[in-house]
Amino acid sequence: MDNEPVKIPCPLPEYGRKNGSDEWQSDYFIIRPSRWLGRHSIRRDEVIEKADGKLGSGDVLIFAISMALMDDWNLPGLNGNPEAWDFGEMDLAIIKWVNREIFNSFSACGTVKKN
């Protein structure tokens, strides 16, 4: 990662539109931190502890972790009080996109490349 956070627009066509110059754009986005830090690992652990099996062990749990890893985002259905969010009603395509961009990047930061 470089020194700037990376803003990633939602690539799903149903969550975007064509602008005046006929280019596709979305109001929805996620921002991947510029570097993964120890605080991100702590956030991951807190989510796992709080979930206590209520979010399963797959996509939805990983999505909750991904949400905790980010500092900023704009995603459909995730407005207002986080206690009121229902990940079970989230579009699975959004969940998988966020997991791919955030959780996979976080997981890969522990991989040391061979020379």
Task: Give me the pLDDT at residue 53, please.
Answer: 75
Give strand ranges (E) for the chain.
6-9, 17-18, 24-25, 29-32, 73-74
Task: Give me the pLDDT at residue 112, please.
Answer: 66
Task: Give me the pLDDT at residue 115, please.
Answer: 66
For each of the chain's 115 residues, which pLDDT tens digit applies? 457 899 999 998 888 877 777 677 888 999 999 999 999 999 999 988 888 877 777 899 999 999 999 989 999 888 877 777 888 888 999 999 999 999 999 998 877 667 6
